[in-house]
Amino acid sequence: MKYSVFSLLREAFRGHAGWTPAWRKAEPKSEYDVVIVGGGGHGLATAYYLAKVHGITNVAVLEKGYIGSGNAGRNTTIIRSNYLLPGNEPFYEWSMKLWEGLEQDFNYNAMVSQRGVLNLYHSDQQRDAFARRGNAMRLHDVDAELLDRDAVRAMVPFLDYDNARFPIHGGLLQRRGGTARHDAVVWGYARGADLRGVDIIENCEVTGFDIAGGRVTGLDTTRGSIKAKKIGLAVAGNTSRVASLAGLRLPIESHVLQAFVSEGIKPAIDCVVTFGAGHFYISQSDKGGLVFGGDIDGYNSYAWRGNLPTVADVMEEGMAIWPGLGRIRMLRQWGGLMDMSMDGSPIIDRTPVAGLYLNCGWCYGGFKATPASGWCFAHLIARDEPYEVAAALRLDRYATGALIDERGAGAQPNLH
Amino acid sequence: MRIPCPYCGPRGNDEFIYLGDATVRRPDPQALGASDAFYEYVYLRDNPSGLHQELWYHGGGCRSWLVVTRNTRTHEISDVTFAAGGKL
Ligand SMILES: Cc1cc2nc3c(=O)[nH]c(=O)nc-3n(C[C@H](O)[C@H](O)[C@H](O)COP(=O)(O)OP(=O)(O)OC[C@H]3O[C@@H](n4cnc5c(N)ncnc54)[C@H](O)[C@@H]3O)c2cc1C
Ligand SMILES: [Zn+2]
């Protein structure tokens, strides 16, 4: 069923009795041309573009829980393309371009909202660093504006501009950045893939790979064995575990990242604001809740929950830029599993096992990458060569030294 | 999460700084194939779901480096020893 204002009107007159499920609950077949492991945003987007762009429709997405039960449904939904390094920036900008046409493309309301992402700076040195980043963005044809204090104050008047330790000097603004509805992105890609014949198979955990003569031929799952010519991994925080089933050891650590939502309040903040003196970011959902977060907890974890020192740290940082936050109650808090890579940048590449492809290393920032990640991963799987903007996201860059280290922090995942 | 430091007793994890996997060993730079060995040492990790031996520095306490055995699924800590003169 195509969604449109006409289908909405028709259903409004019929008591909404005619809506059909947005995708089928598929049963696993014995064989596929391509199997994607992981039904998060990246896995589903990959299947969608495989079908839509490359005409490969004999595809299954295997998900161990329900689709979107991982980070895709847990993130703080910020989208932006304000990266510094040439290995990253064209990729994230391609993602931003795909976001801009996404809802029309997959005929689903993903609530993409280009409300602007404002990164605050708090010192002269930081202003220089942000000016450099803004210039790097503009060299890649990406919008960036360096705002002074007064311009920032006009946008968000209620911040603590004269904080004794972290006065706000200005900000770097990407107006095209913003937020999107994370669940709807998952559902939109799932529906679009399903409509084109892709099987989305939930409650199906991959437990092993069949490898013969260095080539993958299929996989074992909790719902039986499945043959596949090509297999793509898009399992985010579980990457090391799943890849180890194929004998791979990767430059990845799994870490927990927490996020927070306040009680709903009237519209207060109409863009995304980040605190430059630490790591804190905040926006407001359409339901009115303030959505915010900060750093990863900083130790290896598969626990899906974090600890209190990080909670305290996030709250303190929030209070440092927006003291009024102290009058608002926090409603919920949760954690997700980050696939932190050793240079803080992602990997979309082949593996030493023929027919097995890898998509991982998204760290705490892979939601914004969802469209381009799916696009580039689908291209790689279909054509066996990288899509241009993802060509630097290689697995062997750790061995060759062609790292993409935005922070310059070295091989220490909890510093990225 | 509280880490039972053998010197200071159980302390909140915010007193500690995390370094990572304690089982990787710096290879001999003179050995044959040292560059491959260094690549593995610097970048590759088992990243287990379950028991993990890891290095924590008690910067907010006795300033010892500790080898902590912790379950990454539950954050439960089963063993802590000093890194110096111990397992490393
Ligand atoms: C709290 C939080 C806030 C975040 N905020 C942002 C943000 O504001 N902006 C941004 O860009 N990014 C953000 N991120 C990061 C972003 O959510 C992730 O990088 C991204 O969602 C990862 O890709 P994915 O959607 O495919 O992952 P996931 O949704 O985690 O998908 C992986 C899937 O693989 C499945 N799986 C695992 N093992 C197996 C197996 N053996 N067999 C079958 N299936 C398996 C999992 O169940 C899971 O559904 C945030 C993350 C968190 C946790
Ligand atoms: Zn101590």
Task: Say how many CA atoms lie within 13 Å of A356 toward its Cβ.
Answer: 25
Q: What's the complex ipTM?
A: 0.96
Q: A41 to each of A32, A123, B34, B38, how far by Cα in Å?
A: 21, 37, 39, 35
Query: Treating both helix axes as pointing N-terminal to C-terminal, what angle do A41-54 and A370-383 enclose, rounded to 10 degrees?
Result: 50
Q: Alpha-carbon distance A92 to A372, whole Å? A: 7
So what CATH class is B2-24+39-82?
alpha beta
* Test site for ligand 1: of A364, A373, A375, most ligand atoms within 8 A of the Cβ: A364
Give the residue-averaged pLDDT of A6-11. 95
| Confidence at residue B52, expressed as pLDDT on a 0 to 100 scale | 98
Residue B88's pLDDT band, with cuts at 50, 70 and 90, is low
Give the residue-averaged pLDDT of A187-203. 98
**Ligand 2 (single-atom ion) residues, CB below 5 Å:** B 5, 7-8, 58, 61-62
Residue A1's pLDDT band, with cuts at 50, 70 and 90, is confident
Give the residue-averaged pLDDT of B29-39. 96
Sequence ranges of the domains in chain B: 2-24+39-82
3-state secondary structure of A176: coil
| Confidence at residue A317, expressed as pLDDT on a 0 to 100 scale | 96
Residue-level length of chain A = 416
B73·A302 Cβ contact <8 A: yes
CB A113 within 8 A of CB A100: no
3-state secondary structure of A46: helix
A59 membership: H or E segment, kind and range: strand A59-62
For ligand 1, what atom is nearest to the CA of residue A368?
A: 11
Q: Is B9 left (phi over 0), alpha (psi -120 to 50) or beta?
A: left
| Confidence at residue B87, expressed as pLDDT on a 0 to 100 scale | 54
Is 60 exceeded by the pLDDT of residue A58? yes
Smallest Cβ–Cβ distance between A300 and the set B40, B54, B74 belongs to: B54
Rounded to the nearest integer, the mean pLDDT of chain A is 97
Give the lowest-confidence range in A77-91, B36-50, B74-88.
B74-88
Is 90 exceeded by the pLDDT of residue B86? no
Q: Alpha-carbon distance A92 to A84, whole Å? A: 11
Q: Which of residues 37-76 of B touch A (CB under 8 A)?
A: 39-40, 42-49, 52, 54, 70, 72-75
What the block records as the tokens of B77 is 């800590």
Q: Alpha-carbon distance A350 to A356, whole Å? A: 6
Is 80 exceeded by the pLDDT of residue B23? yes
What does residue A177 show for φ and ψ, rounded to 5 degrees?
-75, 175
| B49 contacts on A by Cβ (under 8 Å) | 238, 241, 254, 302
Cα A256–A258–A261 angle (5° rounding)? 165
What does residue A103 show for φ and ψ, rounded to 5 degrees?
-65, -40
Residue A329's pLDDT band, with cuts at 50, 70 and 90, is very high
Sign of CA dihedral B71, B68, B18, A164: positive
Residue A287's pLDDT band, with cuts at 50, 70 and 90, is very high
Is 60 exceeded by the pLDDT of residue A173? yes
List the one residue out of A285, A290, A223, A216 whose CA is nearest residue A246: A216
Is 80 exceeded by the pLDDT of residue B64? yes
pLDDT in tens, A224-259: 999 999 999 999 999 999 999 999 999 999 999 999
